[in-house]
Homo-oligomer: A and B are copies of this chain.
């Protein structure tokens, strides 16, 4: 299996001012075509250090993929460093200049000298066109067949270039015949150590597929990575192990692979022919945003109300002011009223509501930061849930969002359509 190392370039990454998401994307892409990623690195915009790191990685692996440092500014030095590491000269790519001129003309902007710098490439390099920006990428080859591929740091430019051009090129070059397939099972409402306890023996038994447990906020994933000559064989390795894990964990598994809680909730509701509304306070729009992140949400999700102000809870959701005065805005009673108000005013079959104290201020000894109520109303009535969540403001908001959707999922599963109608 050919191997690669990944290098992210940028002083801002080393200073921790920007989180690198490119490396994860590239690593996943390489795993998909059966290249083994041995290690990944980050280095500043420093020509000498980049050249040293790329040179070292080329000794250990069959190729190196760098992201970042191809821009027009004077601190972009990746290309120069790669030429140093390979001992390669440079040339100006005429097509890249033309493409840039066309892009700038269509935007009514002038091509500056610093943009022209982006069309300089190592001699003999294969150009990777940039469909979304000015910096072309490239693959430079060493005489022994090892390579250095450089792609831009802007994530969506990089992604299109890697998926559309780099991967097919590497597959051809290395005659790749091995692939890693990943199958992920998502759980809600079970601790990592409890999952580990139930399936620890499988970890030890199985090297292929390799099993890993990943803890998130209120969810845990079980990942199965199968390695084989092709997708079908890898999937055949994974299937019996996935069945065994499903049998052991059962009711806590809400979905697999790209299925989010929001996706599963929308899917279950779509199958029932029912629709969903949202009323949220402390989560401030995140529950609606989770749902609308799913393409095609519009046939199920009618809309939501972010009732941040108490007056808005009354105006738009019809929560009686005396209920707020009696129980407080953060209470099971008001959560229930919000959900019922959303169901009535938005005209949906189901509604989910969240109200709580996200912090950092606003907490009291009776209602501390992290106290959240979620309510679910459906055709068969309303349920309210009290949660005490830990973490800072953003974490409380995110956890409350996941929990609200998880509770809704449980009710949808527990109440098949028509179950209590008879």
Contacts and interface: CB of A to CB of B under 8 A. Distances in A.
A23 B42 CA distance: 10
A180 B17 CA distance: 12
Given A213-B73, A288-B306, A395 B156 contact: yes
A20 B11 contact: no
Contacts of A30: 16
Contacts of A316: 303, 305, 316, 345-346
A192 B118 CA distance: 14
A74 B42 contact: no
A27 interface: yes
Interface string A40-61: 1111010001000100000000
Interface in A190-247: 191-193, 196-197, 200, 203-204, 210, 212-215, 223, 225
Interface string A354-391: 00001111000000000000000000000000000011
Contact of A223 (B17, B112, B394): B17
B196 A73 contact: yes
Interface residues of A, number: 104
Contacts of A98: none
Interface string A163-193: 0000000000000000010101000000111
B309 A285 contact: no
A256 interface: no
Contact of A27 (B16, B358, B392): B16
Copies of this chain, how many?
A: 2
A312 interface: yes
A327 interface: no
A17 B12 contact: no
A323 interface: no
Interface in A387-405: 390-395, 397
23 contacts: A11-B210, A11-B212, A15-B31, A17-B24, A17-B214, A39-B42, A40-B41, A72-B193, A73-B203, A74-B204, A75-B212, A115-B193, A132-B390, A134-B193, A284-B292, A284-B293, A285-B292, A285-B304, A289-B289, A292-B308, A296-B361, A298-B309, A315-B346
Given A15-B182, A39-B49, A41-B39, A302 B293 contact: no
Nearest to A201: B74
A264 interface: no
Nearest to A184: B17
A324 interface: no
Contacts of A88: none
A345 B305 contact: no
Contacts of A154: 215
A120 interface: no
Contacts of A260: none
A49 B115 CA distance: 41
